[in-house]
Structure 1
Amino acid sequence: MLETLDRWLLQLGIFSSIVLAALYVYFKISYSYWEKRGVFTLKPKAPFGNFSYSLLFGKNPEYEVTEFYKAFEGHRIGGLYRFTNPSLLVRDTDIMKDILVKDFKNYFARGLKFDEESEPLNGHLFSISGPKWRNLRVKMTPIFTSGKIKTMFGSVVECGKELHTSLQKIVRNGETIEVKDFLARYSTDVISLCAFGIQCNCLKNPNADFRNWGRKVFEPHFRQRLTSILNILYPSLVYTLKLSFIPKDVSNYFRKMVNDTVEYREKNNVERNDFMQLMIQLKNKTLGAVENNDTNFPVKETDELNSNAPFEVTMDVIAAQAFLFFLAGFETSSTTMTFCLYELALNPDIQERLRAEIDTVLGKHGGNITYESIFEMEYLDKVVNETLRKYPPVTVLTRECTKPIKLRGTDVTLEKGVQVLLPILGLHHDPKYYPDPERFDPERFSEEEKKNRPPFSYLPFGEGPRICIGMRFGLIQTKVGLISIISNFDVQPSEKTQVPLAYDKNALVLTSAGGMWLKLVNRQDK
């Protein structure tokens, strides 16, 4: 009996030793990938590679990427490992230019892996690649031209007026309020009106149905956090497990709402100046000629991006793009406005200069926010740019190498399938490009200062053919919201204002932890 047990234990020990030895050899070989190619790397830890903190504590891995950017100082590129999969972090702005523009044909994929069959809302412009992305980008280009945005501008201004009215009702004697919630409700009103043609009145009713469903998208939950982490670290597993950021009930709500809206408009011949109407025109092939000012789209197309396969704008395609419009317009704009008000509260001299410009320009336009007045506010543009520099909503851009290519100025040939990380937050806080990067200074975006910086050192919306297609609309929405507040209120820090800020490392985009509490004083009361 004892002999049998000893023999079994011996066999178990031998088997365990073989397994451990095999794992050691496997990880040793896997973690020599960058070393063999002469790329500086940080020591990985099996089995997680360089991302053990994110995986063990369930945090957004994009914050780790920012730390890696600092750790690779002095190097143009650096090697990382997601489990055993190699990733390349890029610090050099010339290489970033190649990846995003010059050699776009080698990096057109984001590397995101979503199953569109199990969740149709995943099929939006941000996540898809290849011919489907190209066809959809071409079709959607006319939707976001200056002319089309101008037709929606009146709706944005009306929401700005309601933002002012709603704040004025509650602001008494310098009351401290959580501004992120108000700005999120303003953004929701803008998006619901301009994208879906729905007057949801979230500023009047914080518990409006559309607001509650939108809030549910961004409520942290295990499945969302798992999907977020795996999309950076192991994208193929997201596809295999059929994971999605979008809860199923949220998906059902948005798809039904889009379907009902389209059916109602087509049945009753209803037309409106909004995103939904333009998507209906795409579906019915009645959208006018492209106002072709999307200069970022590649002139020379590649085999991977060309396809003779027919591409139809279906109801699910419309729903996916409308959902993306909601996500991008809601969260990024409200977050940018929130951080901007925070900095203006801490820098009253900048706030006063901005207010003086707003007063002057609005005075030329009869006190009204007009489309033309937005572009006359040069200092406002600098303030928003500096906010996006210091607080970029998307802190990391990902690309996937789609065919082997040698990196400029190196002996490194990147292989197909390797993930490329462009750390935007790290780039925007690099003192080499932005001295004293924690200081809020809108003059960094004077024409003279911009000329002193290398191109591609400022990438809040990405760049090249995959630059954010809704960038101009997002900026308009953001500026109207800021004008509506700054022209009517003095923004000040309160006893609940965090200095310095702490970030919510569970959030999908850069977000302050614990909300944003600021004091608003009605200018009429000063």
Structure 2
Amino acid sequence: MVFIATFACLLITIAILLGIFIQRRFTYWKRRGIPHEKPIIPYGNIKGFMKTRLLRDIMQEYYQKFKGCGPFVGMYFYINPAILVLDLDLVRDILIKDFNNFTDRGVYCNERDDPLSAHLFSLEGEKWRAMRNKMSPTFTSGKMKFMLPIILNVGDELLQVLSNTIEKDSVVEMKDILARFTTDVIGTCAFGIDCNSLKDPNVEFRTVAVGAFTKSRHSSIVEGFMIGFPEIARKLGLRVINDDIHEFFMRIVRQTVDYREKNSVKRNDFMGLMIELKNSGTGLTVDQIAAQAFIFFVAGFEISSATMAFALYELALNQEIQVKLRAEIDACFDKNDDHFVYENMNEMPYLDKVIKETLRKYAINVTLVRKCCNEYQTSNPNFVIPKGMLILIQSHAIQNDPEIYPDPDKFDPERFTPEEIQKRHPMSWLPFGDGPRNCIGLRFAKMQVSVGLALLIRNFKFHCCEKTPVPLEFDITNPMLASKGGIPLKVEKIKS
């Protein structure tokens, strides 16, 4: 009886303490007098996320509601207080001017129990700086030039597979075939493996890669706990990567490194450059190589393929833009004896505008995240960013703000002429972030997308058909911006 009474008292005490904790947590911004929307327990201000609403729409609505009320606004990401930045000058201060106070992304990783999670995107502090310094020489223009032939080889296969496909049916689901293209490109460059997913979409590498991007190990509530209380989560041994995915990628990297070192294999790909770093006294381990190759692959294949798919969708809707782009591409190829060379990317300014406008309208990574390292006083004396606070920069809302980009739903590459760019705030286009912690692979991404689109537009015409969704539908269950059910287009081969 005494035990039961004691246990009951313990439960009551825990319940009271939990109630106080939740009450304090969800009144964080109210107590500080910072504008915010009343949170809904336990969702905070993101009720419906990945269930009934797109994160893009939730954040854009919040951005539009509070824009103009100050440099930032308070919000709750589940139980975690966070800041949504509204002022572009403050965005520049966070990403560039005062970067040393905002070096971390606040992304959970567990290097001890989950080595694949300790990649460049999630590492913090000195570990991030050291890894970034090691990795930066890998992504120079010179190194990218060496990887171009690999992309072109896969590009030739893409053209052949698409040609064979339209012989059977002129309507092609482009999102899938482009994801297979980027899987083969990055699988070859990052792991030195001929994935062959263009020919066989069911190969193991492709199915595991898709799982790495779409299969979450935990519920969104647990993920919110890991972000809010990373030290506790690490002590509990919580991991991010699913076991099957972890085992697959670790095995592939170890086998590749072992084979190349034993047989003195030298290749001008990402894996070859990482092995050179490992053997040059930098202290890079095989586990660290695996983590960097993993994030390079997962981020690269999905974002690049989605960008190309969205671009083709817009080109199918806007035939005059497609015709103008094809004329530029044809002229560039003709000048170089029907070949694509690295310098072509600087010789096709309209293609560059098309890609930039695609990334503006379709911000695939809808939110940039940073963490405040020390208390930070903004230019407004009433707005102080506390130490440890998560900071959200809503790239999609900024890039679709009608005050910055009039008629934002219209696809207009001419927004990116030098004159138009000069008129806008430099932080008004952020698909790769900015500052010292911008996307390290942006040169590779641009090269991969440029090659893919140039080859496709030169050899095929793309049209909408009865199966093409207009307007485009998006996948609510995906935290990034992804089309729902693919992007089917009518494809017509251009006779040479």
Q: Is the 8 A contact 2:367 2:395 kept in 1?
A: yes
Comparing 348-357 with 173-182, greater Cα deviation is found at 173-182
AA at the equivalent of 1:68: Y
Match of residue 49, structure 1, among 19, 40, 44: 44
Match of residue 484, structure 1, among 455, 462, 476: 455
Q: Is the 8 A contact 2:217 2:241 kept in 1?
A: no
Shift of 1:34: 2.4
Assess, with a 3 A threshold, how the Cα gap between structure 1 residues 204 and 46 changes in structure 2: closer, same or farther: closer
- Aligned ranges for residues 50-449 of structure 1 at < 5 Å? 50-54=45-49, 57=51, 61=55, 63-75=57-69, 76-172=71-167, 175-220=170-215, 223=218, 239=234, 242-285=237-280, 312-449=283-420
Shift of 1:312: 2.1
AA at the equivalent of 1:137: R
Shift of 1:19: 9.2
Helix, strand or coil at the partner of 2:368: strand
Distance 2:346 2:285 in 1: 36
Assess, with a 3 A threshold, how the Cα gap between structure 1 residues 464 and 96 changes in structure 2: closer, same or farther: same
Spell out, residue by residue over 1:76-128, the C-alpha distance to the aligned partner (whole angstroms, 9 max, x if none): 31111234432110011100011111111111111112212221101100011
Shift of 1:165: 1.0
Shift of 1:229: 5.5
TM-score, with length taken from structure 1: 0.87
Distance 2:480 2:225 in 1: 16
Assess, with a 3 A threshold, how the Cα gap between structure 1 residues 482 and 229 changes in structure 2: closer, same or farther: farther
Spell out, residue by residue over 1:129-163, the C-alpha distance to the aligned partner (whole angstroms, 9 max, x if none): 11111001001110000001100111111111111
Q: Is the 8 A contact 2:77 2:224 kept in 1?
A: no
Q: Is the 8 A contact 2:60 2:397 kept in 1?
A: yes
AA at the equivalent of 1:215: V
Distance 1:283 1:73 in 2: 48
Distance 1:238 1:348 in 2: 52
Comparing 134-143 with 112-121, greater Cα deviation is found at 112-121
Assess, with a 3 A threshold, how the Cα gap between structure 1 residues 431 and 58 changes in structure 2: closer, same or farther: closer
Helix, strand or coil at the partner of 1:255: helix
Q: Is the 8 A contact 1:60 1:225 kept in 2?
A: no
Assess, with a 3 A threshold, how the Cα gap between structure 1 residues 284 and 397 changes in structure 2: closer, same or farther: same
Spell out, residue by residue over 1:208-245, the C-alpha distance to the aligned partner (whole angstroms, 9 max, x if none): 23222212223445637566665667666754664444
Distance 1:424 1:349 in 2: 28
Spell out, residue by residue over 1:371-394, the C-alpha distance to the aligned partner (whole angstroms, 9 max, x if none): 111210000000000000011221
Q: Is the 8 A contact 1:173 1:521 kept in 2?
A: no
Q: Is the 8 A contact 1:383 1:442 kept in 2?
A: yes
- Aligned ranges for residues 10-25 of structure 1 at < 5 Å? none
Q: Is the 8 A contact 1:223 1:243 kept in 2?
A: no
Comparing 336-345 with 64-73, greater Cα deviation is found at 64-73
TM-score, with length taken from structure 2: 0.92
Give the superposed CA RMSD: 2.6
AA at the equivalent of 1:168: S
Instruction: Give the equivalent residue in structure 2 for 1:4.
Output: none
AA at the equivalent of 1:359: D
Larger radius of gyration: 1
Spell out, residue by residue over 1:34-53, the C-alpha distance to the aligned partner (whole angstroms, 9 max, x if none): 23434211111234322333
- Aligned ranges for residues 464-475 of structure 1 at < 5 Å? 464-475=435-446
Q: Which runs of 5+ in 2 are unaligned?
A: 1-7
Comparing 409-418 with 98-107, greater Cα deviation is found at 409-418
Q: Is the 8 A contact 1:156 1:477 kept in 2?
A: yes
Assess, with a 3 A threshold, how the Cα gap between structure 1 residues 93 and 232 changes in structure 2: closer, same or farther: farther
Distance 2:237 2:442 in 1: 30
Assess, with a 3 A threshold, how the Cα gap between structure 1 residues 312 and 444 changes in structure 2: closer, same or farther: same
Instruction: Give the equivalent residue in structure 1 for 2:483.
Output: 512
Distance 1:38 1:342 in 2: 45
| Aligned residue pairs, count | 488
Helix, strand or coil at the partner of 1:313: coil
Shift of 1:486: 0.6
Distance 1:202 1:444 in 2: 36
AA at the equivalent of 1:483: A
Assess, with a 3 A threshold, how the Cα gap between structure 1 residues 403 and 189 changes in structure 2: closer, same or farther: same
Spell out, residue by residue over 1:290-312, the C-alpha distance to the aligned partner (whole angstroms, 9 max, x if none): xxxxxxxxxxxxxxxxxxxxx72
Spell out, residue by residue over 1:248-293, the C-alpha distance to the aligned partner (whole angstroms, 9 max, x if none): 111111111111111111111110111111111111117xxxxxxx
Distance 2:41 2:479 in 1: 26
Distance 2:252 2:356 in 1: 35
Comparing 79-88 with 505-514, greater Cα deviation is found at 79-88
Assess, with a 3 A threshold, how the Cα gap between structure 1 residues 227 and 45 changes in structure 2: closer, same or farther: closer
AA at the equivalent of 1:340: A
2:421 aligned with 1:450 = yes
Distance 1:445 1:227 in 2: 41
2:28 aligned with 1:33 = yes
Identity of aligned residues (%): 44
